[in-house]
């Protein structure tokens, strides 16, 4: 037995790729089972239907997808969700670039770890706690903003965008900060020596170099917004997104909820394909 073990050990020592394959086989198998298995189950469920008696019929068909395509309200919800995801991503980019630039290039190096920790602190708090805090702020009448300033956007589409932009902002700041750390200071100095003012340096030097990092952050903010339903339910009022429709139909019409849940997956596949075509992923 010891001889067999020694032969196996020597064989693996001579084959580093085999060692790597054995090392990764467990995590990869779990990923395939948990992630791809759940996606396959989701798609298969979306092909079933609920009959008039409310019973699940496991007959394969595309009636749920046809219903999505031909019902105007669901098309509107899907487009609204994409629009909100884009708006949240743009807001987070606009906020993240100056914050990350200050931390990486302007702040005293002794304070950088403190500032990065400050960016991470909101992630340590519960999602629900932050969402309910915003609900208290935005409530109208009676909310903190309403009592303090005499007005509030209330529970509306604008509130959904503001809250989601706040929730996902750290996921944008961190990749941008990492990208700025890799940006040589000599490029900024050269831009200044050539007469470029601060704004021109940001547009012509910093933003093009940061594009891959911004794309990386946008994958988080865009995908997380597409699937959100809790914040929408708390501060959105009558606003509906894909997540809220899926949640409301989960216990009533599971196949239709599964069909609608595939829409964000398809949107992200298209988004990642476009990002890959741009070459941003290769430059991360």
CATH number of the domain encompassing residue 207: 1.10.3720.10
Instruction: Note whether 99 and 23 are same-domain residues.
Output: no
Instruction: Note whether 25 and 112 are same-domain residues.
Output: no
For residues 18 and 283, the model is more confident at 18
Return all residues near 279 (Cβ < 8 A) that are at least 6 apart: none
Instruction: Please state the domain count of the chain.
Output: 2
Question: In this structure, is residue 65 part of a structural domain?
Answer: no
Angle at 232 between CA 230 and CA 236, to 5 degrees: 145
For residue 50, the surrounding DSSP H or E stretch is strand 49-50
Angle between helix 207-227 and helix 72-101 axes, rounded to 10 deg? 140
Confidence (pLDDT) at 8: 59
Extract the tokens encoding 31.
């990923």
Confidence (pLDDT) at 9: 63
Question: In this structure, is residue 49 part of a structural domain?
Answer: no
pLDDT for residue 34 is more than 70? yes
Question: In this structure, is residue 63 part of a structural domain?
Answer: no
For residues 192 and 127, the model is more confident at 127
Q: Exposure pattern of 190-207 as b/e (b: 16+ CB <10 Å)?
A: ebeeeebeeeebbeebbe
Average pLDDT, the chain: 83
pLDDT for residue 213 is more than 80? yes
Question: In this structure, is residue 55 part of a structural domain?
Answer: no
Q: How confident is the model at residue 1 (pLDDT cuts 50, 70, 90)?
A: very low
73-121 pLDDT, tens digit each: 999 999 999 999 999 999 999 999 889 988 888 888 888 888 888 888 8
Confidence (pLDDT) at 167: 94
Rg of the chain in Å (alpha carbons): 24
What is the average pLDDT across 18-24?
66
Q: CB atoms < 10 A from the CB of 107, how many?
A: 14
Question: In this structure, is residue 97 part of a structural domain?
Answer: yes
Domain that holds residue 11: 2-40
| Predicted model pTM | 0.83
109-130 pLDDT, tens digit each: 888 888 888 888 888 888 888 9
Alpha carbon of 42 to those of 242, 265, 272: distances in Å? 15, 11, 20
């Amino acid at each position: 037995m010891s001889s067999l073990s020694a032969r196996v050990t020597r064989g693996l020592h001579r084959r580093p790729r085999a060692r790597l394959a054995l090392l990764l086989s467990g995590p990869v198998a779990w990923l395939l089972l948990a992630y791809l298995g759940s996606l396959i189950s989701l798609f298969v469920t979306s092909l079933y239907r609920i009959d008039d008696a409310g019973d699940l019929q496991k007959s394969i068909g595309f009636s749920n997808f046809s219903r999505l395509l031909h019902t105007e309200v669901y098309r509107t919800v899907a487009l609204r969700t994409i629009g909100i995801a884009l708006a949240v991503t743009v807001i987070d980019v606009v906020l993240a670039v100056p914050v990350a630039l200050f931390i990486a290039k302007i702040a005293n190096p002794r304070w950088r770890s403190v500032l990065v920790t400050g960016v991470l602190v909101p992630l340590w708090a519960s999602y629900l706690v932050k969402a309910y805090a915003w609900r208290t702020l935005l409530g109208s009448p009676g909310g903190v903003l309403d009592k303090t300033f005499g007005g509030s956007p209330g529970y509306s589409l604008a509130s959904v965008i503001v809250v989601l932009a706040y929730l996902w902002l750290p996921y944008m700041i961190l990749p941008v900060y990492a990208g700025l750390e890799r940006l040589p200071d000599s490029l900024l100095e050269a831009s200044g020596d050539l007469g470029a003012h601060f704004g021109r340096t940001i547009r012509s030097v910093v933003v093009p170099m940061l594009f891959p990092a911004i794309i990386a952050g946008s994958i988080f903010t865009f995908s997380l917004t597409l699937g959100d339903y809790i914040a929408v339910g708390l501060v959105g009022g009558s606003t509906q997104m894909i997540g809220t429709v899926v949640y409301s139909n989960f216990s009533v019409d599971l196949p239709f909820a599964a069909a609608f849940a595939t829409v964000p997956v398809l949107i992200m596949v298209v988004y990642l394909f476009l990002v890959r075509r741009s070459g941003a992923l290769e430059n991360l």
